[in-house]
Amino acid sequence: AQSVTQLDSQVPVFEEAPVELRCNYSSSVSVYLFWYVQYPNQGLQLLLKYLSGSTLVKGINGFEAEFNKSQTSFHLRKPSVHISDTAEYFCAVSGGSNYKLTFGKGTLLTVNP
């Protein structure tokens, strides 16, 4: 079984500041890792995913994440955030069966002017 821990439930930042949203996972098998974004009252949009290969993954909207196997982490970063990045961000993992996603509880990113 897999589990995902998002260490911060809320992250407030100012516009144009850098941000890091933390995600740790546990799994007994090799994993795929994902970050999704959810804008208010909308569905989930895939930001980026790690399946294999390079541990630095680039996604949409200027986001990137680094897979660290030894620390079982997959932190999401953006060097300069915009007001429009305000949303809930979910880290997810799949392994074993590979069709089922296990999600963290989410991190609410609030970008202030």
Partner 1 sequence: NAGVMQNPRHLVRRRGQEARLRCSPMKGHSHVYWYRQLPEEGLKFMVYLQKENIIDESGMPKERFSAEFPKEGPSILRIQQVVRGDSAAYFCASSPSRDSYGYTFGSGTRLTVV
Nearer Cβ to partner 1 (15/22): 22
Alpha helix (H) residue ranges in the chain? none
Residue closer to partner 1 (CB basis): 73 or 94: 94
Q: How far apart are CA 35 and CA 104, in angstroms?
A: 10
Determine, following the binding rule CB under 8 A, whether residue 35 of this chain makes contact with partner 1. Answer: no
Q: What is d(CA 31, CA 92) in angstroms, rounded to the nearest whole number?
A: 10
- Asked if 11 interacts with partner 1 (CB under 8 A), we say no
Q: How far is the CB of 19 from partner 1 (least distance, A)?
A: 20
